[in-house]
Amino acid sequence: MFDTPIHVIDFEGSRQSGVVEYGYVTLENGEIVDSQTRICAPTGTITDIDRGQHGISEDRASCEALFEADWSLFARLRQSGAFCAHNASVEDGFLRAVWSCPRTSPDFAEPGQTTATWAPWLDTLHIYRRVYPQLENHKLQALIEIFDLQATLDVQAVTICPAQRRYYHCALYDAIASALLLRRLTEEPTLKDASLRWLFLQSAASATARDAMGQQEFL
């Protein structure tokens, strides 16, 4: 895969509650080499709808530290590797809502350059939409099922996810799912020579954003 570490991140929460759970896995050369997750105290109300989705109640989360206590962790991750998520604008928004920018960090889409933003992100949602436009559904669970990754996901979850957090909309579980989708792209015969920069280009949400990166060629 790639020598550059890739930190695949997922947040659970909402604008109203803030981040109530995070999870990440680090991919190096296609293998998960690190992971972490925790529940975070809400900054506002966890609605019934949100609780029904991610399964975290205010009673459960209120005794935990706020997400903002983990500034040093996420700043270190940003400096050490590329960020990835499924629909990354959501994760980017959660980060910017707490910390407007990280420390000056490498721009992994532009070798040799630095940036003081949480971007650029690899985005498995946008990559799969561009590579497989014929699919009717590009949601995380749908892609895992379409590409027959559910059994692999569940095996990984047993190894690294907390016992009660091994289903969709649990942050670490979803992060593993996104990591598996990213990894399988490099196993596709037609994409085996794709560069990290190509993946960043496909992650851009629009043609304008891709053009702004200054390259039209895929490989």
Please compute Rg for the chain using Cα positions: 17
Domain that holds residue 99: 6-106+118-210
Q: To which residue do tokens 């196993």 refer?
A: 187
Residue 81 domain-assigned? yes
Average pLDDT by consecutive 10-residue portion of the chain (219 residues)? 92 98 96 98 97 97 98 97 98 97 94 95 97 97 98 98 98 98 93 92 70 44
With a CB cutoff of 8 Å and minimum separation 6, the contacts of 146 are 135, 137
Which CATH number belongs to the domain containing residue 67 in this structure? Answer: 3.30.420.10
Counting the structural domains of the chain, the total is 1
Among 119, 147, 118, 145, smallest CA distance to 131 is for 147
Would you say residue 218 lies in a domain? no
pTM, whole model, 2 decimals?
0.93
Can you give the pLDDT at residue 75? 97
**Per-residue pLDDT reduced to its tens digit, 153-183:** 999 999 999 999 999 999 999 999 999 999 9
Does a structural domain hold residue 89?
yes
113-131: pLDDT as tens digits? 999 999 999 999 999 999 9
Domain assignment present for 215: no
